[in-house]
Structure 1
Amino acid sequence: MTSSAWQKSRYSASSDNCVEVRSIGGSLEVRESDDADIVVRTTCLKFAKFLQGAKAGEFDHLITNA
């Protein structure tokens, strides 16, 4: 990702309720589309490691079926 434009997952379809990401210099920013004033900034490497952990199920215990 080399653009500074916000990008959402294609899985979000037309929903406005999604997570968006963008690359700014060497950093990656993440925000929720319905609360765009709150932005989390991290490195691309740390975000990639987080995604690997999420795909591997490392955070599944945090999700409740309430």
Structure 2
Amino acid sequence: MPRYEFRCRACGDTFEVNRSMAAAGEPASCPQGHADTVKLLSAVAVTGRGGASAPAAGGCCGGSCGC
């Protein structure tokens, strides 16, 4: 289940909430009980060990459309 990070505008506390992607936009109350919170943007890096690399050239479709 995805984890979303929120910050409380009242007390400044930052906290995480696990919820489905369908509920990602719903408000979250701070652990201190405040309702004025904002969802933070998180940068996520995903790496793999497959050894495959992205094509070096390409544009929008790998270079086969001539764009």
Tell whether the structures are fold-level matches, with TM greater than 0.5. no
Bigger strand share: 1
Q: TM-score range by the shorter chain?
A: under 0.3
Structure with more contact order per residue of length (Cα contacts < 8 Å, sep ≥ 6):
2
Bigger helix share: 1
Specify the structure having the higher radius of gyration (Cα).
Answer: 2
**If the length of structure 2 is used for normalisation, what is the TM-score?**
0.22
**If the length of structure 1 is used for normalisation, what is the TM-score?**
0.22
